[in-house]
Structure 1
Amino acid sequence: MFILPVNVTADIERLMRDFLWSNGEFKRGKAKVNWADVCRPKAPLDACWSLRKILHIRSSVAGFIVKQLGNGTSTSAWYDNWLPCGPIGNIISYRDLYEANFSKKEVVSDIVGNDVWNVPNEWLDKYRIIFDNDPPILVNNKDDVCKWRTMYAKLTSFSVKVAWQDLCDEWVDVKWAKLVWFSQCVPRHSFITWVALHSKLKTPDKYIVVNHQFAQGCPFCLTQKASHNHLFFKCDYPKGVWNYFKMLGNLDFAPDEWYGIIEFLEKRPINKSIWSIIQRLILGACVYYVWQEINLRLFQNKSRPMNDLVKIIKKTIMLKLAGLTIKKSRQTKPTFELWNLKENGDFGLNLNDD
């Protein structure tokens, strides 16, 4: 209901930035993604703004607000937007209004009568952009109505949704948004995947070489440049992890490199089916745990066999699936068997004891 003070919102945003980028400690850190991009919606949405907020941007809103004339008695002759050229008070000088014995209070019915302009004759030549238009036809028993003119010049009733869509910057829909953010996702997996999709994970190829460890490149093969595309999932170790879950995720024809995988998944149906959910869980979990393994090798000199990492990822996804309520379908039975899950009544899943 009330606009927060600037200092309060700045402090809140600082806390959120520190939480995301400062390794769990509230200290100044280097952000990997611009804060303006962090705050952008995943797709153009019908986000809701209060009328009070709109009033703060009234200069931007004014051109969209149009008066549709009825009897012309509630529309300002000078300041409302009722002609194609816009408010005529922006064109006619105040001196001319004063010399013609007009005030600022006239309504449209004061300057239009019997389908003619009731204005000084010299105005007809001086302000042709206005008065070359035929005067509006007023209807005595009809009220003036305030309308919203969209960016496509369509007159419609005002709504916050329509205003938001017209006033916000035009953003191209993010095709991969639903691959990352969905109701069944694991948030920490989605966050790392989101950063990876912005190519902002600090992979070894982005480090300034300060020791031989980073000079070695990929922490798995030690020979190739450790780029996003190599680490997810062209290198043998992450590729082996990815190929294992391609079989479990009905992704037999998916590529083995980052950009190809994302393009492949974008073209597949993204919905609430069991396979769609599993495929997105696999993507997030594989990216998250491969990234975790990369950091273990770089910073802690630890490593895990591929089979161990596969078991961790599989167990994580199974636990997530076991907590979901899933309707039976032709797809569910073979899925349960493949993932070693059992039905719990008509809905829901449990892990098998074995």
Structure 2
Amino acid sequence: MWNLVSFQPQVEQQDSWVWTKHASGKCTIKSAWEQNRRHSPPDDGSRLIWHKWHVPRHSFVLWLAARGRLRTMDRLHGLPHQQCVLCNDQMENHNHLFLLPRPFSATIWQELAGRAHLTWPSVPWVQAWGWVVERCSSTNVATQRLVGLVLAAAIYHIWQERNEGFMIITSA
């Protein structure tokens, strides 16, 4: 068995740890993260959502909205009230909350479009998100980052207003 060992112990030398996943031989949080995370190419829109100027809570809500994962009334099971808490007229979903011509969100989009000199398509939420991603996330231009900031802030504040209405309904 000892013939299979190809090194001789160095009794006079102190033992040391060597992290082979980093050039310095030292373990860093970054090198451990890179070793353990699942590597995949960034998806469409990630540059629009996550960049050095982003507001973390705005980006997080936009990230959920872009995937249709906000807890809108159509996604909450077992609640007797599934109407939109802002208009109390239609079933609440991402399209209704963020895009359909309604007094609350329509006013926000018109105001933002006018101030930012943007046109916004009148299509369902998933298509609108694809439209924005196609036009604004391909390069690292400041104006495109600003579009991402404006979009994230608008979605965040519409969602906050919805949650205020939701709290009133559930506490009543």
**Which interval holds the TM-score relative to the shorter structure?**
0.5 to 0.7
1:235 to partner: Cα distance: 4.5
1: CA distance, partners of 2:94 / 2:72: 7
Residue aligning to 1:262: 129
In 2, the alpha carbon distance for the partners of 1:240 and 1:294 equals 15
Sequence identity percentage = 24
CA contact (8 A) 1:221 1:235 kept: no
Please tell me whether residue 284 in structure 1 is matched to residue 156 in structure 2: no
| Partner in structure 2 of residue 188 of structure 1 | 57
TM-score (norm 2): 0.68
Tell me whether 1:226 sits opposite 2:95 in the alignment. no
Alignment of 1:179-328 (within 5 A): 179-211=48-80, 214-215=81-82, 217-236=83-102, 237-255=104-122, 257-270=124-137, 271-300=139-168
Structure 2 residue aligned with 1:110: none
- Other-structure match for 1:56: none
**Unpaired runs of at least 5, structure 1:** 3-49, 54-159, 302-354
Aligned CA-pair RMSD: 2.9
Superposition deviation, residue 174 in structure 1: 0.3
Pair 256,275 (structure 1): closer, same or farther in 2 beyond 3 Å:
farther
Structure number with bigger Rg = 1
Q: Deviations over 1:198-255 (max 9, x none)?
A: 22211111222444xx23x112232222111221121412122122212222322444
1:37-52 maps to which residues of 2 (within 5 A)?
51=20
**How far, CA to CA, are the matches of 2:156 and 2:136 in structure 1?**
23
What secondary structure sits across from 1:300 in the alignment? helix
Q: Which has the higher relative contact order, 1 or 2, with Cα contacts under 8 A spaced 6 or more apart?
A: 2
1:1-354 aligned at under 5 Å gives the runs: 51=20, 171=40, 173-211=42-80, 214-215=81-82, 217-236=83-102, 237-255=104-122, 257-270=124-137, 271-300=139-168
Contact residue 250 and residue 275 of structure 1 kept, 8 A: no
Using a 3 Å threshold, how does the CA distance of structure 1 residues 196 and 253 change in structure 2: closer, same or farther?
A: closer
Q: Which is strand-richer, 1 or 2?
A: 1
Structure with greater helix share of residues: 2
Aligned-partner Cα distance in 2 for 1:228–1:197: 9
* Cα distance in 2 for residues equivalent to 1:52 and 1:294: 47
Separation in 2, partners of 1:294, 1:201 = 11
The structural deviation recorded for 1:182 is 1.0
Give, in whole Å, the separation in 2 of the partners of 1:296 and 1:229.
19
Counterpart Cα distance in 1 of 2:101 and 2:53: 29
Q: Which amino acid aligns with 1:266?
A: V
Classify 1:269/1:284 alpha carbon distance in 2 versus 1 (closer, same or farther; 3 Å): closer
Contact kept? 2:74, 2:92, Cα under 8 Å: yes
Counterpart Cα distance in 2 of 1:269 and 1:299: 35
**Where does residue 44 of structure 1 map in the other structure?**
none
Structure 2: which 5+ runs fail to align?
1-16, 23-30
